[in-house]
Amino acid sequence: MLPMRLLVTGAAGMLGTDVVAAGGGHDVVAFARADLDITDADAVRAAVRDTRPDAVINCAAWTNVDGAETAEAEATRVNGDGAGHLAAAAAEAGAHIVHVSTDYVFSGDATSPYREDAPTGPIGAYGRSKLAGEIAVADAAPSDHAIVRTAWVFGPHGKNFVDTMLRLGAERDELKVVDDQLGCPTYTGHLAPALIAVAEARLHGVLHVAGGGSCTWWELACAAFERAGLSPTVHRGTTAEFGAPAPRPAYSVLGTTRSDAPVLPAWQDGLAAHLIAKEVLAS
């Protein structure tokens, strides 16, 4: 594969940091949120024009699921309008756009894995804002876009469920974790090179790329405690008990109909790699 020029947005975030690191064989131009406000269409157009990338990987996003419930317009400006600005600028420059989306575009009432052609139906503001981004990207770059839906993302460079559980497990003798949501935990260290592979192959359309297998949050927490040598008592809880402001899809397992979609390792392998990465960063 010949080296490409990749423009990565959200480059200082949990996923973006690993995408930049995984792009070592390419000429990577990294824009953190402080460097580029994707809601500013003129700034986005100028950045893409000046950079002249072969591909744009959009990791910039409003990720505060609960906060989006009371700030949906602001979330949509980032996740919807901002994604559209990037896609339009990429199309104008002849660049491929790889846009990261989410399981939250689905209602979560399925009983078998969601494929790419499954009907969308977000049940909360965050999911609606991300679906708006998918539509904006497809409209702005109809012939040269990839929308990569993923789920339950965790990694060493940002706030995430696994690290929160490890902190609580070290502080408490017992805790309660939701056991009525099922999904595919996805490690950024595995997802990042997959996004670059999508850009390299210039894949088109919607792809589902998530950690292999599935589990509940309770099962993920228990697995994290076991690997970290922690032994709190972990009680099974329900989504309703925690009363979060935003509704969560009960079923977020992603499948694929595409033979060209990158296949990630099992979520257990991602968890193991995450703990090793945390140790390296701490040393």
> In 3-state terms, what secondary structure has residue 98?
strand
Q: What is the pLDDT of residues 42-53, one digit of tens each?
A: 999 999 999 999
Is the pLDDT at 283 greater than 90? The verdict is no
Out of 114, 126, 187, 251, pick the active-site residue. 126
How far apart are the C-alpha atoms of 239 and 62, rounded to whole Å?
Answer: 22
251 is catalytic: no
Is the pLDDT at 1 greater than 90? The verdict is no
How far apart are the C-alpha atoms of 102 and 207, rounded to whole Å?
Answer: 11
- CA-angle at 29, arms to 147 and 83, nearest 5°: 30
Report phi then psi at 210, rounded to 5: -145, 170
Using the structure block, give the residue that is written with the tokens 């990694």: 155
- Supply 227's token pair: 């690997």
Cβ–Cβ under 8 Å, residues 41 and 83: no
Instruction: Give domain limits for the chain.
Output: 5-160+185-212+253-266
pTM: 0.97
The conformation of residue 111, written as its DSSP 8-state character, comes to S
Q: Between helices 41-51 and 83-93, what is the axis angle to 10°?
A: 40
pLDDT-based confidence at residue 2 (cuts at 50, 70, 90): confident
CATH topology of domain 5-160+185-212+253-266: Rossmann fold (3.40.50)
